[in-house]
Amino acid sequence: MARVAVVHNTLDFQGGADAVCLATCEALLPDHEVELFTLSETDPSDLADRFDADVAGLAVRTPPANSPIARGLARLSPVAGPQLAFRSVLVGRYFGRHADRFDIAVSTANEMRLPIPSVQYIHYPQFHHRALEATDGGRLNPLWSRLAGPDRGTTDGATLLANSAWTADVVERIYGVRPAVLHPPVDPIDGGLDWDQRERGIVVVGRIAPDKRVLDTMTVVDRLRDRGHAVHLHIVGSAPQSYQPYVDRVVSEADRRAYVTLERDVSRDRLETLLRTHRYGLNLKRDEHFGMSVAEYVAAGMIAFAPDGGGQRDILKGRADRLFASLSGAVDCIETSLETDDRPTLPRDRFSRRRFKSAIARRVNRALGQ
pLDDT of residue 153: 67
260 shares a domain with 162: no
> How far is the first Cα of the chain from the last one, in angstroms, to the nearest whole number?
10
154 shares a domain with 37: yes
pLDDT of residue 207: 87
207 shares a domain with 130: no
Rounded to two decimals, what is the model's pTM?
0.88
* Per-residue pLDDT tens over the stretch 256-290: 999 999 999 888 899 999 999 999 999 999 999 99
Residue 31 lies inside a defined structural domain of this protein: yes
177 shares a domain with 135: yes
Residue 346 lies inside a defined structural domain of this protein: no
Rounded to 5 degrees, φ, ψ at 70 are -60, -40
Residue 135 lies inside a defined structural domain of this protein: yes
In this structure, the number of other CB atoms found within 10 A of the CB of residue 108 comes to 26
241 shares a domain with 175: no
In this structure, the number of other CB atoms found within 10 A of the CB of residue 331 comes to 21
Residues 115 and 99: their CA atoms lie apart, in Å, by 7
Residues 186 and 333: their CA atoms lie apart, in Å, by 25
359 shares a domain with 211: no
Residue 345 lies inside a defined structural domain of this protein: no
pLDDT of residue 134: 58
Tell me which DSSP letter residue 192 carries.
P
154 shares a domain with 205: no
329 shares a domain with 252: yes
| Sequence-ordered alpha helix ranges (H) in 141-183 | 141-148, 152-155, 165-175
pLDDT of residue 97: 96
319 shares a domain with 276: yes
Per-residue pLDDT 10s for the chain (370 aa) are 999 999 999 998 888 899 999 999 999 999 999 999 999 989 998 888 878 899 998 999 999 988 888 888 877 765 555 588 999 999 999 999 999 999 999 999 999 999 999 999 999 999 998 877 656 667 788 898 999 999 876 777 799 999 999 999 999 999 999 999 999 999 999 999 999 999 999 999 998 999 999 999 999 999 999 999 999 999 998 877 778 899 999 999 999 999 999 999 888 899 999 999 999 999 999 999 999 999 999 999 999 999 999 999 999 999 999 999 999 999 999 999 999 999 999 999 999 999 999 999 999 999 999 7
In our burial notation (b when 16+ CB lie closer than 10 A, e otherwise), range 142-156 reads: eebbebbbbeeebbe
Tell me which DSSP letter residue 352 carries.
-
The count of structural domains within the chain is: 2
Residue 214 lies inside a defined structural domain of this protein: yes
Residues 288 and 291: their CA atoms lie apart, in Å, by 6
99 shares a domain with 40: yes
Single-letter code of the amino acid located at 114: L
Residue 284 lies inside a defined structural domain of this protein: yes
Residue pair 91/39 in contact by the 8 Å Cβ criterion: yes
Residue pair 344/198 in contact by the 8 Å Cβ criterion: no
pLDDT of residue 78: 58
Tell me which DSSP letter residue 54 carries.
-
Separation in Å, CA 130 to CA 126, 127, 142, 147, 155: 11, 9, 7, 15, 18
Residue 347 lies inside a defined structural domain of this protein: no
* Per-residue pLDDT tens over the stretch 302-321: 999 999 999 999 999 999 99
Which CATH number belongs to the domain containing residue 53 in this structure?
A: 3.40.50.2000
pLDDT of residue 272: 95
Overall size of the chain counted in residues: 370
The parent domain of residue 178 ranges over 3-185+352-367
244 shares a domain with 141: no
177 shares a domain with 63: yes
Residue 236 lies inside a defined structural domain of this protein: yes
